[in-house]
Amino acid sequence: MESAREQGTRAAVAAAAAALHQRLAPGMTRAECEAHAPWVVRIQELKRERRAVVLAHNYMAPEIFHGVADLKGDSLALAYQAAETDAEVVVVAGVHFMAETAKLVSPEKTVLCPDLRAGCSLAASITAADVRALRQQHPGVPVVTYVNTSAAVKAESDICCTSGNAVQVVRSLGVPRVIFLPDAYLGQWVAAQSGVELILWQGHCEVHERFSGEQLRTFRAAHPGVRVLAHPECPPDALAEADYVGSTAEMIRYVGAERPPRVALITECSMSDNVAAGFPELEFVRPCTLCPHMKRLTLPNIASALERLEQRVEIEPALAERARAAVERMLAITSSAVSSAGAPRAEPRRAAAS
């Protein structure tokens, strides 16, 4: 006979499978949900035992994003939301620089990155030594660094930015030239929007750089009436074909506000799966490009990290203080603007397809 505990676990697993399937069908089968459910139940138990929260970036697999995440969204927003909780342990379902950012914001918390190999092509494209060399080549020119970088690179910067506030941050400096690191395509977009001359580093996101204008034109022809939303890390010819350009959070807000009957999110594939679950009445057409680094995060390695409290992220205190200062300078600018004018929004690129 089953013990009461076993019966309770079996019931919890069945309930978790049903909840996942209700949320994710038809994109995820009943059998897939049943396979994920034991891990979901185990992680929920461990979160209670460890006083932990799980942060899930928008690019996480749906079983993580909808199954175990307590906080969901963009990396920087997640870090600050976690800081506001009373959790003692923060598990970052995202790549390593995101876990570093969470540690910068919450140095007193235990921050776990379930797979320390989960990197980022942008973060890997530049080092602290590279930033110091650029400063020597361009004395007196301020350095704006995208948050998709290591803590060591942030520490060498004057101010950080996100894809959503990069134009605002660059304009706020009031100078004619800025060193902008490390994403060249995002930098080209920011230069065009801000009117500021940017000295660019040739870093690229290995997901977004695969998209092209020709591909999007072909995509439109195959899906009449599709509304195309693109991330500014995409190449310029792809952005020129988009109806709207914005960060992941801005794309989600756009979908919620505009409710286009047919929409394509030109970014990492799992985001479409995650957003579609919240808008079942809309048709999401998916030009699927997966991030291999994000896909290193799984339910089993999240459970393992919580069980063992391993894969901890640590940052040398002096370096952390300098990196934190660059992030806080950004927040000082963007918070004042948001409080007076509302959240900044990316602008449409062209008339929406009908």
Tens-place pLDDT, residues 77-113: 999 999 999 999 999 999 999 999 999 999 999 999 9
Question: Are residue 111 and residue 173 in the same domain, yes or no?
Answer: no
In which element (H, E) is residue 194 found? helix 184-194
Question: Are residue 182 and residue 106 in the same domain, yes or no?
Answer: no
Residue 161 lies in a domain: yes
- Residues in contact with 100: Cβ distance below 8 Å, sequence separation at least 6, in sequence order: 150, 151, 313, 315
- Taking 90 as the threshold, does the pLDDT of residue 341 lie above it? no
Residue 234 lies in a domain: yes
Single pTM value for the model: 0.89
Q: Is 153 exposed, middle or buried (0-12, 13-18, 19+ CB in 10 A)?
A: buried
Q: Is 174 exposed, middle or buried (0-12, 13-18, 19+ CB in 10 A)?
A: exposed
| pLDDT, tens digit (0-9, with 9 covering 90-100), for 142-182 | 999 999 999 999 999 999 999 999 999 999 999 999 999 99
Question: Are residue 111 and residue 35 in the same domain, yes or no?
Answer: yes
Residue 346 lies in a domain: no
| pLDDT, tens digit (0-9, with 9 covering 90-100), for 18-39 | 988 888 888 899 999 999 999 9
Give me the number of domains the chain comprises: 3
Question: Are residue 168 and residue 38 in the same domain, yes or no?
Answer: no
State how far the Cα of 150 lies from the Cα of 36, in Å rounded to an integer. Answer: 32
Question: Are residue 236 and residue 324 in the same domain, yes or no?
Answer: no
- Residues in contact with 299: Cβ distance below 8 Å, sequence separation at least 6, in sequence order: 36, 39, 40, 43, 63, 64, 67, 68
Domain with 67 in it: 4-118+294-308
| Closest alpha carbon to 251 in 319, 106, 130, 349 | 349
Residue 352 lies in a domain: no
Q: Which residue has the tokens 């970036």?
A: 57
**High-pLDDT (> 90) share of the chain, %:** 83
Sign of CA dihedral 132, 137, 139, 143: negative
Tell me the backbone φ, ψ of residue 291, rounded to 5 degrees. Answer: -90, 115
Question: Are residue 19 and residue 110 in the same domain, yes or no?
Answer: yes
Question: Are residue 44 and residue 17 in the same domain, yes or no?
Answer: yes
State how far the Cα of 126 lies from the Cα of 239, in Å rounded to an integer. Answer: 24
Question: Are residue 143 and residue 177 in the same domain, yes or no?
Answer: yes
Question: Are residue 325 and residue 194 in the same domain, yes or no?
Answer: yes
Residue 79 lies in a domain: yes
Residue 354 lies in a domain: no
State how far the Cα of 286 lies from the Cα of 266, in Å rounded to an integer. Answer: 8
State how far the Cα of 131 lies from the Cα of 123, in Å rounded to an integer. Answer: 13
- Taking 60 as the threshold, does the pLDDT of residue 338 lie above it? no
Residue 14 lies in a domain: yes
- Is the Cβ–Cβ distance between 148 and 168 less than 8 Å? no
> Averaged over 283-297, what is the pLDDT?
91
Question: Are residue 185 and residue 320 in the same domain, yes or no?
Answer: yes
In this structure, the dihedral spanned by the alpha carbons of residues 67, 70, 75 and 80, taken in order and rounded to 10 degrees, is 180
Question: Are residue 14 and residue 63 in the same domain, yes or no?
Answer: yes
For residue 2, the model assigns a pLDDT of 65
Q: Which CATH number goes with the domain that contains 153?
A: 3.40.50.10800
Q: How far is CA 185 from CA 172, 203, 235, 237, 252, in A?
A: 20, 8, 6, 10, 21
Question: Are residue 237 and residue 280 in the same domain, yes or no?
Answer: yes
For residue 5, the model assigns a pLDDT of 75
For residue 346, the model assigns a pLDDT of 40
Residue 289 lies in a domain: no
